[in-house]
Structure 1
Amino acid sequence: MTRVFTSETSNETPHVIAAKWALRHEDGPLRAEEQHAFEQWIAADATHALAWEDVNWALDAPARHAASPELLDIRSAALTARAVEPRRSPRYLAVLASVAAATIIALLASPLVPDNPTPGGQMGASPEQNGAVYRTAIGERSSITLPDGSVVTLDTDSELHVDFNGHRRGLNLVRGQALFEVAKATRPFVVNARGRMITALGTRFNVRIDGPKVRVALLHGLVRVDAAMQPTGKGKSARMPETVMRAGEIMEASDTRQSVAVAPNVEQAASWKTGQLVFNDTPLASAVAEINRYTVQPIAIADVAVENYRISGVFRSADPRQFAVSMTEILPVRVHFREDGTAVLRARTP
């Protein structure tokens, strides 16, 4: 039977409905019609997204703070209620909603709160940081702690603008790539990347701008990608649908299309944070292009014939010279270093 939980069909609060959806997610993958109903509910009102974030954050709290007996007791009470009420009666749903609310209150009242307010207790951006612009040079990475406690790691040759206000925590990724680790707060956390508005619902996600394309990899939680205007010809445009992404998914979007797919190794999308680049059966030309993002002496490929050779492995982004040498060990290519140190890859001749 398809479960559809909406505010319109009952007097239940968004937190109670979010708790019901949390239970349904625990049962396993949603059916297509359920997924559609869930996404519609999330997108219908900003309070729904915040309620979903609250419930998941609350239920995950013991995992984050395993040493806290109080939080473990709360989680234990929820699990006990679930065992007693296998059919999930209204009483059990009320218990779960109460558990979520109790956990939220407990955390907000305790020193475990992950929100890191600025001096004076203000949750808004500090004057010296709001409106700030952060840039990284080629080959550089930088970690930024935002006023709400969220952490942004900027990749090579990237630019980020901070625009916090009383209504939302806004960021604009102008170019490059960034990993966002979002702290719990009541205001939405929104990243603008080439017109795509990515709203975090308590999560960890990676955003990359690659020419006209935007790539979002969701490592944990949920994000909502708001609609963008799609040109249809003759000076007209149409609105592309909103997308709610779940952990393990990658979305690729351009001005004319977008697609979402499950990635078996989504964590690899953020491997650059530790200075590693992971290639899985990747064309040599694509791997070289990725390495070249991290160096002012880009590797060159002299023979078109070798561009489609495939490589797999883990390589250091900060050492393009070693990458070029490694290619001679795993592929039928040779490397020549010019006087300026630039590596040139050619087909190996007999």
Structure 2
Amino acid sequence: MAQRDDHSHEERRSEEAAGWVARLQSSDATAADREGFAAWCARNPKNAEAYQDLSSLWGELKEAPVPKDRLRKLRAARRARRAATLGILLLAVTGLGVSQTGWVERLQADHSTGVGEVRSVALPDGSRAVLNTDTALRLRFDGSRRQVELLRGEAYFEVAPMPARPFVAVGETLEATALGTRFAMQLSQGGRGPEVAVEEGRVAVRSREAQVELKAGDEATLGSDGRLILSRPDVAEQVAWKDGKLVFSDRPLAEVLATLGRYRRGSILVLDERAARQRISGIFDVANTDEALATLEASLPVSVTRLTGLMVIVRSR
């Protein structure tokens, strides 16, 4: 068990180092970024070593076109450790490593989850929050207010009635005030704006441009033009993750894989439109995405190839 924990720590360190390489090499790196990097290095000498290793690899890979040459480098890697390291750096270069690290938000949060983790937490007022994968939540509770700030990811709230102290969830450019209810809030994901979905009760949702009151079964998504777009999805299906399940009804494979990708480290790439358009219905366990991938490969005309522990390729067969 100790050996597995050590491996997990090293994997996390490599991810963080990859994020720093990508960030500091970026033209928009700020003084605050450099200060944060210095503090990260100071916490553990191994952090600086990991950064130096990946920084050297960056010099080898940064001119390679995406994705063909980089995938060829991955295939050519003979040692599992080096292949895994190259995979981590590839994710950082393409922006995925940074998006899945989330260390800044976790430092600011009162409660957080790692990639693939779903956890329920009791709030000070008797309410309950369930944090989805890779989520960070900050609490601001006092005598007059109950406010939670979703810094990252997605959370589901079961709100204890307390009319004198409104329960307010804040995330990106949306604010949701619960009127004794159960609802979920998700930040921007896969090109879709932040959203609020109500399973029970009513929720007042406000953006900079608009305000609307949602009832059970309603969802509001912030559009690119600032409008709140209302819909009536299957909310119970959407929030099944809080019970450890992912439920899909006639969804395109590309969407299913994007969701599965949120529960595992690394990336799932679909190489052709024929595979991406395959339709799928099913129920999968959030704790076993490898089993889900095996099921998809067995039931659809697609092949699943694992290049490293951090890279999965899906294509038609």
What's the TM-score, normalizing by structure 2?
Answer: 0.61
Residues 1:153 and 2:130 are matched in the alignment: yes
Deviates more, 1:213-222 or 1:333-342: 333-342
In structure 1, C-alpha distance between the alignment counterparts of 2:308 and 2:172, rounded to whole Å? 39
Tell me, yes or no, if the aligned pair for 1:284 and 1:306 is still in contact at 8 Å. yes
Residues 1:214 and 2:194 are matched in the alignment: yes
In the TM superposition, residue 251 of structure 1 has moved relative to its aligned partner by 1.2
In structure 1, C-alpha distance between the alignment counterparts of 2:161 and 2:122, rounded to whole Å? 14
Q: Which residue matches 1:203?
A: 181
Tell me, yes or no, if the aligned pair for 2:223 and 2:229 is still in contact at 8 Å. no
What secondary structure is seen at the aligned counterpart in 2 of 1:277?
strand
In structure 1, C-alpha distance between the alignment counterparts of 2:266 and 2:294, rounded to whole Å? 15
Query: Which runs of at least 4 in structure 1 moved beyond 4 Å after TM superposition?
Result: none
| Identical pairs, percent | 35
Which of 236, 240, 258 is the aligned partner of 2:228? Answer: 258
Q: Which residue matches 1:175?
A: 152
The 5 Å alignment of 1:1-350 reads 133-185=110-162, 186-211=164-189, 213-226=193-206, 228-229=207-208, 240-256=209-225, 257-263=227-233, 265-340=234-309, 342-348=311-317
What secondary structure is seen at the aligned counterpart in 1 of 2:277?
coil
Tell me, yes or no, if the aligned pair for 1:321 and 1:343 is still in contact at 8 Å. no
- The amino acid across from 2:177 in the alignment is T
Going from structure 1 to structure 2, the CA distance change for 1:167 and 1:310 (only over 3 Å counts) comes to same
- The amino acid across from 2:170 in the alignment is N
Going from structure 1 to structure 2, the CA distance change for 1:315 and 1:327 (only over 3 Å counts) comes to same
In the TM superposition, residue 271 of structure 1 has moved relative to its aligned partner by 0.3
Structure 2 residue runs without a partner (length 5+): 1-107
Structure ranking higher in helix proportion: 2
- The amino acid across from 2:307 in the alignment is R
Tell me, yes or no, if the aligned pair for 1:324 and 1:345 is still in contact at 8 Å. no
In the TM superposition, residue 323 of structure 1 has moved relative to its aligned partner by 1.5
Structure with bigger RCO (C-alpha 8 Å, 6+ apart): 2
What secondary structure is seen at the aligned counterpart in 2 of 1:148?
coil
In structure 1, C-alpha distance between the alignment counterparts of 2:271 and 2:221, rounded to whole Å? 30
What's the TM-score, normalizing by structure 1?
Answer: 0.56
In the TM superposition, residue 132 of structure 1 has moved relative to its aligned partner by 5.9
In the TM superposition, residue 165 of structure 1 has moved relative to its aligned partner by 2.1
- The amino acid across from 1:225 in the alignment is V
Q: Which residue matches 1:44?
A: none
In the TM superposition, residue 339 of structure 1 has moved relative to its aligned partner by 4.8
Structure 1 residue runs without a partner (length 5+): 1-130, 230-239
CA RMSD of aligned residues (A): 1.8
Going from structure 1 to structure 2, the CA distance change for 1:166 and 1:300 (only over 3 Å counts) comes to same
In the TM superposition, residue 345 of structure 1 has moved relative to its aligned partner by 1.8
Number of residue equivalences? 206
